[in-house]
Structures are given as C-alpha cells and as structure tokens.
Structure 1
Amino acid sequence: LSPAHRVADAPLAKRAAEEAEACELLLNSERQEGSQRLRAARTLLDYTDHPGARWEEAERHWAGLLLAEASDDLDTALTGDVEALDSGFRHLSAVLGEFPDGAGVADDAGEVLDGFLDRLPTDDACATERIAAWLGGREPGEKALERATGIVPEIEPGAKVGCGADLMADHQWAEALGRYEQVTDEYPDHELAAEARTGADDASAAIELDEVRDRLLVSTGSDIPDYCGTPAPYRKAAPYEGDGPHRALVFGDPDHKGELASSWLADGAGDAVLVICAEEPTMGATVETCPYESGLSAGGNQSVSFREKEIPIRVYEVRTGELVTERNLRVRGASCPETLEYEYLITDLGPPSEVYVTPSRDDVRNAYRSVIAP
C-alpha cells in the first residue's frame, strides 16, 4: 500500500481500538452485576463516556442498576436503618436527575418509591419513627420524591406513641417521655395527643419513682437514707389523707419496726404513702421510780427511774415529697419489773439510775398509730 493509503486507514484502526476498549468495559459491567451492582453501574458510566460506546440503551440500563440498588436499600431501611434510607434516596435522586422526564425511567423510580411508602408504617414503631424523622428532615429535591415527605404527618404521631410504649416496656423512661412530648408539642390536635399526654405522665412518674428509690437506698453504716434529707415526689403515690392506715417505709428504728402491723408497712416506694425517718430515741417522761438492791449504794438500794422513749421522727408524703409532720413519738411501756437486768463492762457498779420502760407490741403501735392510722 502507498503511504497515502495507510494514513487513510488510521482512523478506522483507532475506532476499532476504541470500540474494543468500550466492549471490554461493557463486558466487565455485566460480570460485576451479579455481586457488585454499584461497581457495575460505575463501570457502565465509564462505558457511556467512552468514545467507542455504541450501545444506545446503556444509560437506561445504568438507571435500572441504580433503581435495583435503591429498592434493596429501601427494603433495609424498613428496619429503621437511616443510612440505608439515605442511600436509597440518593440513588433515586441520581436516576431522576439523569432522566427527569423521558424514557419511562421516572415512572420506574416512582414505582420503587411507592413500593417503599406503601409498607409504612412498619410493625416496629421505633423503626417507623426513625424513618419518619429522616423523611421529615430531608432537604427539598426532586418533586417526584416530595410525596415521601408528605407521608410524615400520617405516620409520625402513631409511630412516636407506639415507640414510646415500646420504650416504656424496656424501662427507658426518659426516651419514652421524649417521644410522647414530641407528639404533644408537634401534633397537639392529633387524635393520639391525649394518649401521648397520658404516656408522658406515666413516663414522668416512672422517672420520679426511680429517683425516689435511689434516694431511699441505705448506704453501708447508716440506717437513714438520703431521702430523709432530700426527699423527692412520686406523683402516682396515694395521697396522705383520710383515716388510713397509710402504708409507710420506716427507717432508723430497727427495734420497733418489726412490731408494726404488716398492713401498715409498704413493700417499697411504689406502694408507700409515707416515709418515716426516725432518729435515736431520747429519755422521755418518768413513768415510775423503783428501788433495786445494790451493794454499792447507801442503804443497799439504788433508785431507778423508768422513762418513756421519745423518738424524734420526720414524716414525708411520698406523693409530694413534702414534710407532713415533725414530732417526737412517745413510746410507753411496763416499768419496775421484779428483777432488773442490766449490762456492765468490767466492774458492777449497780443498776443505772435511768432506763427505758419495756414497751409491748401495742405500746409501739399506739405510738406510731397517730401518724400511720390517725
């Protein structure tokens, strides 16, 4: 061939090389579709940009790959996975941005979106709540996707109330309260607003009860809990009113607590009406003075005065956490037994000059009755 003829054939060779390269990209894309769909889509984009590309349906096929990926992402998003939700919408936006009107691709994207929206709300209220929050917070974009934002007011109130109930069942009181308050703040006229207000009250009460329980814990080496110095309210407790008995938690009087009627004692903060904080007893009024033999006393006798117990108490209403009374309980009892028992360390110096009376069960109950069962 002449040199002129060889120059004329060069463009044909170049086109053949370009078409071969483009074909290799297309084949790579097909191989990647089975397990690496997004990589296949990127390879297909490289093909469409290549000067040797000849397949007119390449861009439409690229859109199909992205729509398939979007569909899978949105399936995953139904579990509440907002990263998958974001990914799915990005793929839809990419397709709609490339094919805003023609080729039927916009309709295909709409079908993927509708398939997702039609499954809302899901059976998992907290998952639906996360989806609704993401949809409501997304930036405006393609009009074809705006109906996803429009569904938020339809699904969000029920999702938040349902999620609040699920969180309550898991004892996540503060998180539940947040969901209920969002409904009452954002949807005050919704048919579920009343249920949300009730839920918020229950969640607040549960938070209060936890706080009361924490303050009622008695630390090592102490009989008095922090509650006795810093009480807290629990709104669901029964009010301190009427004749009673008003079930109470008694702290600081281990000698007498066991003498109280079981119907007077609360099992815990959840059913208590009162918290009674008792301090160390002091000597009260003298009931009787009697002589007892003592070899160390003049005349061989030692006078012993038997005195009532006075127990300083503070009484709090659990419902309000307020102090309802502060007084001394007077515990009466028997005096002057025939034989007086007493303790001494090393040397017996005779009986003490003052001792407490010996209260019976009725004496103890009569003392506490004025507070617990007035």
Structure 2
Amino acid sequence: MKDDRLAAALGNASLLGVGYMLLRRWRLAIAAQVITVALVLILVSQKALWCEIALAVWWVAVVVHGWTAAGKPGTRPVREQRVIALCVTVPVLLAGGFFRYDAAGIQRDVAEARAAGDCAGVTAAQSKARYGDRVADAPGIEGLGVDVEACAELREIARMLPGTLPGHTNLLAEQFAKLDAVLAKPGQDKTVEKVLDEYLGSLTAQSPCNTVKLATWLRDRQKTRNVLDKAGPVGDGLVPGNQFACAQSEAKAAQWRAASYRYRELIARYPKAPVTSKARAALVVATLKVQLLDIRGLIDSGEYCAKPAAYGGAPRYRRGVNRALILGAQEEYTSQLPSQWKTTVPTNASVVICTEEVEDGPAIRTCPYVREGYNFDFYRTFRKVVVPVKIYAMRTGRLVKAAKVVIDGPACPAVYTDSSGLLPIAGETISTPVEPTAANIRAAFQPLLVRP
C-alpha cells in the first residue's frame, strides 16, 4: 500500500491539513492548520481582497504539495484514504460554497433595497450576514458596511431636517451639505432622494412665511449636478403661492411694509404666476396703507411741511370745497375756519396747508389814543394780518401753491385795550395787527379751499 496522491491533495483541499494527516506528516498538518487559521483571522479582520488571494494561493499550495508529497509506502488502503479525504473536504467546500452563495444573496438584497431607497431594507438585509458569510466573502460583506453607515447618516439627517421647518435656513444648508457628502458614496442616489422627497413633501404643511424662507433657499441653492438639484424646481414652485399667503397674513396683522415688500417681490419675480394678479391688487391696498403710515409719522413728528409725502387714497384737489389738514402754529386764525373746510384725518384731506410765522400786512388806518391816567396821546396803525402758507395736494404730495393769506379786520376800535403792559412814548405810532372776525378769516382762506 502506498499513500495516495489524490487523497492527500483532496485532504489538503479542506485547508485543515487532512492530507498531511493521511501522510502521517503531523508537523506539516499542525503548521497547515495554524497558517489556515491565521489567514482566516486576517481575512475576517482586514476584509481585503489581497487576503482572499493569499488564502487562495495557500489553498493551491497545500493541494499541490499534498499531491507531490504522497507516493511513499502507506498504512491505509487507497480507497480508505480517498473516503476520509472526501468526507472532510467535501463538507468544507460545500460550506464555503454555501456561505459564498449566501453572501452574494445578502449583497443582492442590499443592492435592491438601496436601489429602492429603502434604508430599513438595507439594514435588515445586512444584519443577516453570519460569520461564515464574512469568511466566505469578507470584502463583499464588508462593502455592505458602507451602505449601512450611509443609511445611519441619512437617518440622522432625516431626524434633523424637521428642525428647519420654522424657517432655519442655516440648519437646512448644513443638512444639505451632509446629504451631498452621503451622495459621494457609491450607489446612494435613491436613498438620498427618498430622504429629500420626504422633506420636500413636509414643506407644504408649514406656515406660508416659513415655507417661503425655505423654498427661496432651495430655489437659490447653487447646483451640485446630482439628485439634490431637484429641490430647486420644487422650491421655485412653492414660492409664489406661499409668498402671497405670507403677505396676506402680514397684511392682516397690519404689517403693511413687510406685506408690500413681499407683493412687490412676487410680482417682479413671478409676473405670470396665477396669484400675481391678486398680488397686484393687494399691493395697491398695501401701498396706500404704507403711505398713510408715513403721512401720519410725518405729521406726528412735525416734519410733514419739510418732507411732504403722498397718500394716493386722498380725495383729489378739485373744484368745490377741498378739506384741508392744517399744520403750523397759526391755530389762532385757522381754528375759526368752517368745520367743513378742515379735517384732522389725513384720509379725508384733499390738501395740506402749512402755515408759517405771521407777517405785518398793509396798513388800514392810524388812530390816536390816550393812555388812561396819562396826559398825552400816542397813535396806533392797524394793519392786516398776513399768514404765509404752502398748499400741498395730499394725493400727490406736490406743492399746489405758495401764497400769503391776507386777513382783513376792523380798525380803530373806540376803546383799545393794551395787554402788553408797556408804556407808550408820547406821540409814538405803534403798529398793531387787526383782530379779524371769523368772517374775515373765512373770506381770506376761501380762495384756497373753495375752487370755482
């Protein structure tokens, strides 16, 4: 009996040194087993292709060496040697094939789940990998870890994205940068797209003003030539309707300046959008409200006469009676005008009359008076009152007329009471403004406020 070459080669094909055992080469058998275990451990830890190549080279080496080392006198029949070798090697090879096939199936399941954007499926499929699978196809099973890691990152991104919904665009930019980083890993287009689609779908359930912030950021985001670019058109489509709705809510809250800005931006950016015609109509109202706020601010601060402004909703300066908003320090005279000629409400005023300091007008008559208790005469020259005015059309804020209102009045009353407390000089002539009646004041201002 001789040691069978085929039995030795088959026995060593198990990588357990069985062929050397059949040859009674115990040291070689132990060494072969140690080397095999070491290579397997290295393969499992390194999960690199070179480890698989090294193990394959070792397999070929021990098979060839088992073939060449046989042929000497043996102690077992050839048939028995071959049966022993087959009983060990075949199960080992079958197990290796089974785990290799199983590893391929796991990789296929992971690839299908990844292609469907199903991160839960990716994780579930990868979790089926057993130790045998990791030995049979260490690099392939290790590659699945990249997909699992990507899915873990996507789950964290998906958890953070709802935090942007109050309008936090800085956080949105951070999460999109992370999505872009995940896309850099191979085969992650669909998984990223699914997270992106879920987020984009959530935008419509938010308040319009917050949605506008986020949609505008998405619209203006710099393109990266990957699946994330689909967010741009989605954001662009969300802006018009939400911009209008946001402006409407601001208008309802009397935030007219903000609403006006949004209407203008919408009209300029989306002139053909379905809501743009509504925005134009709403802008007219908002513009008037803003003008009115400006007008009231100028009036309250006393700056209107220096900075006249327009209020497009005011009545036109036309024929007939034009109600005036009268500003200035000459209330002594203007307070006596008919109530139908004046108003304190800017929306009712056709014009704004800005009065200036009173001037001495033309002399009417000079009369002598005797100061009670003193034996000398002095004289008073009674003059008309001149009130310089500037008239602005409220509707346009433009100067309509600059004039001097000359107010007549009775001169030389029989008794004149001097409230100044100063003693006049004998023979002195004192210039004195007349004290006009309401009729005198009305007659002076009528040409300005009642147009023929």
TM-score (ref. length: structure 2): 0.61
Offset, 1:341: 0.9
Check conservation: 1:252, 1:277, Cα contact below 8 A. no
Cα distance 1:140–1:307, how it changes in 2: closer, same or farther (>3 A)?
closer
1:115 to 194, 198, 210: 198
Q: Distance in 2 between matches of 1:71 and 1:16?
A: 37
Q: Distance in 2 between matches of 1:171 and 1:316?
A: 27
Give the AA of the match of 1:365: R
Give the AA of the match of 1:326: A
Q: Distance in 2 between matches of 1:17 and 1:348?
A: 124
1:339 to 415, 437, 444: 415
After TM superposition, list the pairs within 5 Å mapping 1:29-44 onto structure 2: none
- Alignment gaps of 5+ in structure 2: 1-26, 48-137
Offset, 1:86: 2.2
Partner in structure 2 of residue 130 of structure 1: 213
2:167 to 80, 83, 91: 80
Check conservation: 1:69, 1:91, Cα contact below 8 A. no
Check conservation: 1:69, 1:88, Cα contact below 8 A. no
Taking only aligned residues, the RMSD between alpha carbons, in angstroms, comes to 4.0
Give the AA of the match of 1:75: P
After TM superposition, list the pairs within 5 Å mapping 1:1-374 onto structure 2: 9=34, 57-100=144-187, 106-141=189-224, 143-168=226-251, 175-216=258-299, 225-267=302-344, 269-294=346-371, 301-344=377-420, 347-349=423-425, 353-374=430-451
- 2:361 match: secondary structure: strand
Give the AA of the match of 1:281: V
- 2:320 match: secondary structure: coil
Check conservation: 2:351, 2:393, Cα contact below 8 A. yes
Q: Distance in 1 between matches of 2:378 and 2:204?
A: 87
Of Structure 1 and Structure 2, which has the larger fraction of its residues in helix? 2
Cα distance 1:110–1:306, how it changes in 2: closer, same or farther (>3 A)?
same
Cα distance 1:346–1:331, how it changes in 2: closer, same or farther (>3 A)?
closer
Q: Distance in 1 between matches of 2:429 and 2:417?
A: 10
Cα distance 1:177–1:10, how it changes in 2: closer, same or farther (>3 A)?
farther
Give the AA of the match of 1:334: P
Cα distance 1:193–1:335, how it changes in 2: closer, same or farther (>3 A)?
same
Partner in structure 2 of residue 221 of structure 1: none
Cα distance 1:79–1:21, how it changes in 2: closer, same or farther (>3 A)?
farther
- 2:337 match: secondary structure: coil
Q: Distance in 2 between matches of 1:146 and 1:183?
A: 23
Q: Distance in 1 between matches of 2:347 and 2:41?
A: 85
The CA deviation string for residues 251-272 of structure 1, in whole angstroms up to 9 with x for no partner, is: 1313223323444433354543
Offset, 1:184: 2.0
Cα distance 1:352–1:158, how it changes in 2: closer, same or farther (>3 A)?
farther
> How many residue pairs were aligned?
337
Percent of matched pairs sharing the same residue: 24
Check conservation: 1:296, 1:349, Cα contact below 8 A. no
Cα distance 1:347–1:142, how it changes in 2: closer, same or farther (>3 A)?
closer
Give the AA of the match of 2:243: K
Q: Distance in 1 between matches of 2:429 and 2:368?
A: 11
Q: Distance in 2 between matches of 1:180 and 1:245?
A: 33
Check conservation: 2:317, 2:351, Cα contact below 8 A. yes
Cα distance 1:52–1:5, how it changes in 2: closer, same or farther (>3 A)?
farther
TM-score (ref. length: structure 1): 0.72
The CA deviation string for residues 86-129 of structure 1, in whole angstroms up to 9 with x for no partner, is: 233333333344242xxxx6544333222222233344222111
- Alignment gaps of 5+ in structure 1: 23-50, 219-224
The CA deviation string for residues 282-314 of structure 1, in whole angstroms up to 9 with x for no partner, is: 3334445544224899x9544434332121211
Give the AA of the match of 2:405: L
- 1:120 match: secondary structure: helix
Cα distance 1:123–1:274, how it changes in 2: closer, same or farther (>3 A)?
farther
Check conservation: 2:324, 2:342, Cα contact below 8 A. yes
Give the AA of the match of 2:202: R
- 2:443 match: secondary structure: helix
Offset, 1:241: 1.4
Q: Distance in 2 between matches of 1:80 and 1:347?
A: 77
Offset, 1:340: 0.6
